[in-house]
Amino acid sequence: MQAKTDILETPVRYFKGVGPKRCEHLLRLGIKTASDLLYYLPSRYEDRSNFTAIKDLKTGEKQTIRGEVLAMSTRLTKRGMPVFEMAVGDKTGRIPAVWFNQPFLTKFFKVGQEIILYGKVERFGALQINQPEYEIIKEDEEASLHIGRIVPIYPLTSQITQRYLRGLVYMAIAKYGHYLADRLPTYIRARHKLADIRFAAYNIHFPSSFANLDKAYKRIVFEEFFMLQLAFAIKRRNIKAESGISHRLEGALIKSFTANLPFELTKGQKDAMNDIGRDMASARPMNRLLEGDVGSGKTAVAAYALVLTVENGLQGAIMAPTEVLARQHYLVLSKLLMPLGINVALLARGIDESLKAQALNEISQGKVNIVVGTHAVIQEGVEFKALGLAVIDEQHKFGVEQRAVLRRKGKNPHVLVMTATPIPRTLALTVYGDLDVSIIRELPKGRRPIVTYWVDEDKRQKVYDFIKDEAAGGRQAYIVCPLIDGSASIEGSVSKGAATKSATEMHEKLSREVFRDYKVGLIHGRMGPKEKAKVMKEFRDGGINILIATVVIEVGIDVPNASVMVIENAEKFGLAQLHQLRGRIGRGDCKSYCILLADPRNENAKKRLMAIEDTVDGFEIAEEDLALRGPGEFFGASQHGLPEIRFGNIVKDFSIMEEARKAAFDVVNRDPMIRDEHHKYLRDTIVSRFKGRLELIRVG
Ligand code: ADP
Ligand code: MG
């Protein structure tokens, strides 16, 4: 068995026609071995299989003809460039074929040969076929690679030609293809009607028909997705195999919590609480994602889970990505839970050392029931007496490792992660494949919808007047800028451009001129934690009318009295980000307005602004964003842990992903330790592919 795989690792330098220079060029494409060649997939295909009769050739299109070389000649252009011309004929007519600057072709062809040409037909007086690709038909050659068939086109750099690579790939298949071992068990292939791997390898490069190409593609993508989903299934099994802390769901504390909530829960919130209750009551650790648009009320759901764990004599922790947000959670949770006799503590930067030491002490003794904080929560020195539940808010702002550290602060605690980034269905299986998911779809009743306008620069004065009107009515406004200051400091993932607005400059200008008579505040990521907290408190208390900000206010901030948000250079933000920002308003009972000041340079940017203007549904926006930007960009630089996908397209091939997921979870169900003889290859693949990369992957 071992030998079989080794032979596929034969270096390409042993291939005919591969010298040191070519080796280097191939390396740049990531091709080192025979196996690399086999898995170097075409980016597209050209159908050169249908021959067009010469009399039916159309101007301006690429077409394939088959005929006989009738005559050849070479002439020079005025500038001295050699032009090789050939007359080709079939039963229906004749046409000249023309090549520039390839004088060696004179020796390559002979009059009377049968040839195939593929190229663009153009009219210069008469029709001619320009710079066509060519193939001489030799009777003994089993199949022509470059023409007269569906031809693979590879993603290449300029040093390597399609023709050359095609030849190499063909050699690799002819010589090594039959050593490819099928990693998918036969029963899975049979059940999902998947082609054999050798068939797939051949047909993905040199398909004998489009139907066979589809089969080959599905087979290769299925295998890729299947292995990913198998990793998820194993990870999930590992978590579920741990014993968790089974919680009682009934008790005085949880009763008075629900009775004292200042609002009626939405259906989505109730459903999510039920899901969470079921998870926490079970003897397995919860590993759940709570997904809900901004303002959907995830905090109350988290509070429910936290109270459950406190009721059961354990501690809860909630970790947020920014200090501002952590402090806000602290405020909200204290107000909600302190009256019930629950002790809430805050851990964040900028807290006095002595207070912090005291908090740490109380946490370790179990006197603190709930810890709210930033990354400070997962630092060394924070020791819980008994952590029963870890909540991670805006979880996409944290890395996998940080989540794992929090989990390890307890003994198999329940874990709830929350996000306001609606993940399109097509991505969820790839990104959150190992989590159970609850989704809150609706916003609480009585919310006034946010009205969004996209305006350009000449409306600026009007926008300012509008802010003044709102301020006169006692409302507050945000003005969000992409930059902190005029220098290169970029907040978040926004790119700087010529007229990009900066928060400090805006603040200076507006507070001195336009909004002289108002209280104008400033907040950005480079301010100290205490300073930020002070500004936010002032804004919340109504001491600031207009807050100039960067995207530090993107997540979680909740000031119901703010009714206007102006976003400067809105074209520079992603859709999801704009939606997040906009979620800061419309939180009270006043009608709210989001004004996008933008000067979009291209169609795509315009489309994005129109999408955000048209819809307030985060899921719709996410789908749109995904369609416009693709999965990689969709997540930007954030640490979503989008796994590397080489062959398939997680959006377009969603149905294959679903099928592969079912199959993978089925395997783990029947054979949890992946020990069966017929799963041997699966096991080997998973171990070598994911070892150390996915948290908690353990096989056997
Ligand atoms: P997010 O899901 O964005 O974290 P929050 O938990 O911050 O949302 O809630 C947003 C606002 O909605 C808060 O002011 C909260 O008190 C309020 N809220 C939450 N649930 C409800 C509800 N069922 N009815 C009315 N208001 C609610
Ligand atoms: Mg929130």
Residue 89: CATH number of its domain: 2.40.50.140
d(CA 122, CA 589): 67
Give, for 625, the enclosing helix (H) or strand (E).
Answer: helix 618-635
Of 153-162, 184-193, 358-367, 503-512, give the lowest mean pLDDT range: 153-162
Spatial strand order in the sheet of 592-597: 450-455, 592-597, 562-567, 476-480, 546-549, 520-523
Distance of CA 518 to the CA centre of its chain: 42
Q: How many helices (H) and strands (E) does the chain have?
A: 23, 20
Can you tell me the mean pLDDT for 228-248?
87
- pLDDT recorded at residue 142: 44
Q: If you measure from the C-alpha of residue 556 to the centroid of ligand 2, how many angstroms do you get, rounded to a whole number? A: 4
Which two structure tokens, joined as six digits, stand for 422?
Answer: 């609606």
**What's the token pair of residue 613?**
């203007």
pLDDT (0 to 100) of residue 587: 79
Task: Calculate the average pLDDT of the chain.
Answer: 87
Asked if the structure places residue 113 within a domain, the reply is yes
Average pLDDT of span 578-605: 86
Are both 429 and 289 inside the same structural domain? yes
**pLDDT of 63 strictly over 70:** yes
Boundary (domain end) residue, out of 418, 440, 462: 440
Q: How would you write 244-291 as a 3-class SS string?
A: CCCCCCCCHHHHHHHHCCCCCCCHHHHHHHHHHHHHHHCCCCCEEEEE
Could you give the 3-state DSSP secondary structure of residue 649?
coil
Ligand minimally distant from the alpha carbon of residue 444? 1
Region 546-574: mean pLDDT is 86
Residue 188 pLDDT class (50, 70, 90 cuts): very high
Distance separating alpha carbons of residues 200 and 216, to the nearest angstrom = 4
Q: One-letter amino acid identity for 613?
A: E
- pLDDT tens digits along 310-333: 999 999 999 998 888 899 899 999
Contact 558, 587 (CB under 8 A): yes
Query: The tokens 């039963």 sit on which residue?
Result: 91
Q: Which two tokens stand for residue 494?
A: 């926004």
| Ligand 1 atom nearest to CA at 560 | 14
pLDDT, residue 487, reads 60
Closest CA to 631 of 617, 645, 613, 618: 645
Nearest residue (CA) to ligand 1, atom 5: 297
- Strand bridging mode 370-373 / 344-347: parallel
Residue pLDDT, tens place only, 105-129: 888 899 999 898 999 999 988 899 9
The pLDDT assigned to 221 comes to 96
Q: Which of 270, 268, 287, 243 is nearest to 389 (CA)?
A: 287
Query: Quick one: which H or E segment has residue 661?
Result: helix 654-670
Residues 270 and 373 in one domain: yes
Nearest CA to ligand 1 atom 11: 295
Mean pLDDT of 380-402: 87
Report whether pLDDT(640) > 70. Answer: no
Please tell me the predicted confidence (pLDDT) of residue 139: 59
- Number of structural domains in the chain: 3
pLDDT score for 325? 87
**pLDDT over 60 at 4, yes or no:** no
Q: How many CB atoms lie within 10 A of CB 666?
A: 13
Mean pLDDT over 210-231 rounds to 95
Under the banding of pLDDT at 50, 70 and 90, the label for residue 555 is: low
Pocket test for ligand 1, best of 267, 293, 294, 299 (most atoms within 8 A of CB): 299
Three-state secondary structure call for residue 564: strand
**Which of 67-73's residues contact partners 24+ apart within 8 Å by CB, and which partners?**
67/94, 67/114, 67/115, 67/117, 68/112, 68/113, 68/114, 68/115, 69/109, 69/110, 69/111, 69/112, 69/113, 69/115, 70/94, 70/111, 71/111, 72/106, 72/109, 72/111
* Cα(693) to centroid(ligand 1), Å: 36
Residue 205 placed within a domain: no
Q: Whose CA is nearest to atom 9 of ligand 1?
A: 297
Q: Are residues 355 and 454 in the same domain?
A: no
Task: List, as ranges, residues with CB under 5 A of the ion ligand 2.
Answer: 556
522 and 563 in a single domain? The answer is: yes
Q: Model-level pTM?
A: 0.70
CA 81 – CA 75 distance, rounded (Å): 8
pLDDT top residue among 582 and 553: 582
353 Cβ contact partners less than 8 Å away, ≥ 6 residues apart: none
Query: Which helix (H) or strand (E) covers residue 302, if one does?
Result: helix 298-311
432 contacts 454 by C-beta, under 8 angstroms:
no
Q: How far is the CA of 145 from the centre of ligand 2 (A)?
A: 58
3-class secondary structure, 645: coil
Q: Whose CA is nearest to atom 17 of ligand 1?
A: 297
State whether 426 and 472 are in the same domain: no
The ligand that comes nearest to the alpha carbon of residue 585 is: 1
Strand order in the sheet with 387-392: 344-347, 370-373, 315-319, 387-392, 414-419, 287-292, 436-440
Does residue 1 lie within any of the structural domains? no
Rounded mean pLDDT, 234-238: 84
470 shares a domain with 604: yes
> Across-strand partners of 119?
63
Query: Which of 140-149, 231-240, 464-473 is least confident?
Result: 140-149
For CA atoms 555, 558, 560, 561, give the dihedral sign.
Answer: negative
pLDDT at res. 54: 94
pLDDT bracket for residue 407 (50, 70, 90): confident
Residue 604 has pLDDT above 50, yes or no: yes
656 touches 215 (CB < 8 A): no
Which ligand 1 atom sits closest to the C-alpha of 393?
4
Q: Where residue 559 falls among pLDDT bands split at 50, 70, 90? A: confident
Both 266 and 393 in one domain: the answer is yes
d(CA 607, CA 614): 10
Higher pLDDT, 632 or 341: 341
Tokens at 168, concatenated: 């190499």
Ligand 1 pocket test target in 264, 296, 439 with most atoms within 8 Å of CB:
296
Place of tokens 């306008």: 453
In a domain, 196, yes or no: no
Nearest ligand for residue 298 CA: 1
Q: Where residue 695 falls among pLDDT bands split at 50, 70, 90?
A: very low
Whether 684 is covered by a domain: the verdict is no
- Ligand located closest to 321 CA: 2
Rounded to whole angstroms, how far apart are CA atoms 99 and 574?
A: 47
Cα separation, 343 vs 368, in Å, equals 5
Q: 601 lies in a domain?
A: yes
Mean pLDDT lowest among 338-347, 351-360, 372-381, 628-637: 628-637
Sign of the Cα torsion 27, 30, 32, 34 reads negative
Q: Which of 258, 397, 558, 559 maximizes ligand 1 atoms within 8 Å of its Cβ, making it the mutation to test the pocket?
A: 558
Q: Are residues 359 and 269 in the same domain?
A: yes
- Residue 60 shares a structural domain with residue 78: yes
Say which ligand is closest to the CA of 584.
1
CB 84 within 8 Å of CB 96: no
**How far is the centre of ligand 1, averaged over its atoms, from the C-alpha of 302 (Å)?**
11
- pLDDT of the residue at 93: 94
In a domain, 647, yes or no: no
- pLDDT at position 116 is 87
Closest of 418, 322, 308, 321 to residue 370, by C-alpha? 308
- Determine which helix (DSSP H) or strand (DSSP E) holds 306, and give its type and residue range: helix 298-311
- Residue 544's pLDDT is 94
Which amino acid is residue 569, in one-letter code? Answer: N
**Average pLDDT of 437-460?**
86
Structure confidence at residue 552 as a pLDDT band (50, 70, 90) = confident
Confidence at 145, pLDDT banded by 50, 70, 90? confident
Which pair of structure tokens corresponds to residue 124? 């210069």
| Amino acid, res. 143 | A
E strands, 81-162, are: 82-90, 93-100, 114-124, 126-136, 150-153
Both 352 and 489 in a single domain? no
How many whole angstroms separate alpha carbon 395 and alpha carbon 566?
26
Task: Please determine, for residue 143, whether its predicted confidence score (pLDDT) is greater than 70.
Answer: no
| pLDDT score of 1 | 39
Tell me, yes or no, whether 484 and 563 share the same domain. Answer: yes
Which atom of ligand 1 lies closest to the CA of 269?
Answer: 23
> In this structure, is residue 130 part of a structural domain?
yes
Q: How far apart are CA 683 and CA 184, in angstroms?
A: 11
Write out the two tokens for 442: 């609706």
Provide the token pair at 461.
Answer: 């004065």
Q: How far is the CA of 545 from the centre of ligand 1 (A)?
A: 23
The CATH code of the domain that includes 567 is 3.40.50.300
User: What residues have CB less than 8 Å from 311, skipping those under 6 apart?
Assistant: 247, 248, 251, 252, 253, 254
**C-alpha 235 chain-centroid distance:** 20
Of 480, 554, 477, residue with least CA distance to 519: 477
Of 440, 470, 501, which residue sits at a domain end? 440
Which residue's CA is the nearest one to ligand 1's atom 10? 295
**What was the pLDDT predicted at 72?**
95
From CA 685, how far away is CA 289, in angstroms rounded? 28
Report how far residue 414's alpha carbon sits from residue 436's, in angstroms, rounded to the nearest whole number.
Answer: 12
Distance 560 CA to ligand 2 centre (A): 14
CB–CB of 85/71 below 8 Å?
no
Task: Compute, in angstroms, the gap from residue 560 CA to the centroid of ligand 1.
Answer: 10
pLDDT tens for 611-621 read: 888 887 888 88
**How many other C-beta atoms lie within 10 A of the C-beta of residue 672?**
16
Report the separation in Å between the CA atom of 333 and the middle of ligand 2, taken as the mean of its atom positions: 12
457 and 349 housed in the same domain: no
Going from the Cα of 306 to the center of ligand 2, the distance in angstroms, rounded, reads 15
Nearest CA to ligand 1 atom 16: 297
Residues with CB under 6 A from ligand 1: 263-266, 269, 292, 294-300, 420, 444, 556, 558, 587
| CA neighbor of 478 nearest in space, from 539, 529, 528 | 539
How are beta strands 387-392 and 414-419 bridged, if at all? parallel
Write out the residue range of the structural domain in which residue 112 sits.
50-148
Final residue before a domain boundary, out of 584, 615, 646: 615
238, pLDDT greater than 60: yes
* 574/556: higher pLDDT: 574
